[in-house]
Amino acid sequence: MKALRKLVDSIAPTFAKDGKLGKLHFVFDGLETFLFTPGHATVKGAHLRDSIDLKRTMSIVITAMIPCLLFGMWNVGHQHYLALGEFLGMGDGFWDKFIFGAIKVLPIVVVSYGVGLGIEFLFTTIKGHPIQEGYLVSGMLIPLVMPVDTPLWMVAVGAAFAVIIGKEVFGGTGMNILNVALTARAFLFFAYPTMMSGDKVWVNTGLEEGQQVVDGFSGATSLGYAATGQVDKVTSMMDSFWGIEAGSIGETSVVACLIGALVLLITGIGSWRIMLSVFLGGLAMSAIFNAVGPGLGNEYMQIPMLHQLMLGSFFFGLVFMATDPVTASQTNTGKWIYGFLIGVMAILIRVVNPAYPEGMMLAILFMNVMAPLIDHYVVQANIKRRLKRTALVAA
């Protein structure tokens, strides 16, 4: 590390504002502060409330996502060998599964970061402002919410759309109104629906000569089965809890998401109010469906409450998406309302509208738009209460 520090210090004058490559000063500064703790702290931005450096904040969030990434790699391999009828046991062929998954997943991560950060550096050079570190997290979130069979060119297009349209047009990190990673996911979902949905996109079989998928294997997700009325094919609650099912790369494991939530809560980065309220909202909507489901003869509505919440990306969205400090509500009361409505809408959309079996994405994006309005009315309500107290004291 000392050698690297000396190397960086030796070339720093070249990238100084008055140096030969002064136009690339902010690019160099971004790389330097990524490698080493900077000598300055973030002093503005709606998503920070203390003196911690923004890169350190983003690094903690990335650390929290590592369990989802690692499990996702293993699960990609597990689903692959399951489709071929090989290594059917959980512990069978562990490294074969993990290596296969890593080979499929890591290129998606590389493309996401390469394209996204490349555009960030371009905007930094053109506009002459410091590197905005928000994409450090978005660059990891985008691969985790993608199906494993997503072509790399689509990942590149989604990342570019997210950075340019989802963030830079609003002024950059801290100014965007929609979660950047979900913006990429939504854009690709609606622009290329046949390549982002259906049974075949969730499992990369990687067939070689002489191999074939076993009879009866469809590759459908549990939500896909439930949406088409095949509730009997939904994975068990325990499998859903561990994440042993087809789905987006990093979204399936509740355990991995809970580990990430623990990291975010201990470090104070994630909002426990939002996490808890999203969970309670989903639980409330599931309870309502459980109550009316038998009378309507709807088996989807009768899936047990906790099992319902463990399906799809509910917990991943609860931990990593809904808690985005830029696009979520800022007031404490607003966070309860914001989170609760996300939980309610996520379950409502997935059960009532079979066209969108994964309702978490749409629920969070909708509430991202509503968050400023929620905060406005919360603040106005506080002002009215204080004015009433002031009037009583004056009287």
51-90 pLDDT per residue, tens: 455 666 778 899 999 999 999 999 999 999 998 888 888 8
187 vs 193: CA distance, rounded Å: 10
Arithmetic mean of pLDDT, 161-173: 84
For residue 29, what are the contacts with CB-CB under 8 A and spacing of at least 6?
15, 130, 131
**Residues 169, 313: one domain?**
yes
Is the same domain home to 20 and 141? Answer: no
Residue 390 lies in a domain: no
User: Are residue 154 and residue 13 in the same domain, yes or no?
Assistant: no
Domain count, the chain: 2
Average pLDDT over residues 229-237: 89
Structural domain containing residue 107 = 54-207+217-383
pLDDT > 80? residue 22: no
User: What is the SS3 assignment for 389?
Assistant: helix
Q: Taking the C-alpha atoms of 51, 337, 293 and 355 in order, what is their torsion angle to the nearest 10 degrees?
A: -70
User: Are 272 and 366 part of one and the same domain?
Assistant: yes
Q: Is there a single domain that holds both residue 129 and residue 29? A: no
Residue 389 lies in a domain: no
Q: Among 58-62, 103-107, 310-314, 368-372, which is the least confidently predicted range? A: 58-62
pLDDT above 90 for 184: yes
Are residues 160 and 20 located together in one domain of the fold? no
Same domain assignment for residues 18 and 65: no
Q: Given pLDDT bands bounded at 50, 70 and 90, which one contains residue 322?
A: very high
What's the mean pLDDT when you consider all of the chain? 85
Per-residue confidence (pLDDT) for residue 16, from 0 to 100: 63
Residue 166 lies in a domain: yes
- Does residue 222 lie within any of the structural domains? yes
300: left (phi over 0), alpha (psi -120 to 50) or beta: alpha
Considering the domain architecture, whether residues 25 and 64 belong to the same structural domain is answered as no
Both structure tokens of 5: 């520090």
One domain for residues 27 and 58: no
Is 74 a member of any domain?
yes
Return d(Cα 252, Cα 257) in angstroms, integer: 9
pLDDT for the residue 301: 92
pLDDT at position 55 is 64
The verdict on residue 315 lying in a domain is yes
Within a domain: 392: no
Residues 111 and 241 in one domain: yes
Domain identity same for 241 and 355: yes
The string of pLDDT tens digits covering residues 96-135 is 999 999 999 999 999 999 999 888 888 777 776 666 667 7
> Are residue 96 and residue 14 in the same domain, yes or no?
no
d(CA 280, CA 286): 10
pTM as predicted? 0.85
- Ranges of H-type helices in the chain: 2-11, 25-35, 54-84, 94-127, 135-144, 152-164, 180-191, 193-196, 222-227, 237-242, 254-267, 272-296, 305-310, 314-316, 332-352, 360-394
Does 44 map to a domain? no
Looking at residue 130, its pLDDT comes to 64
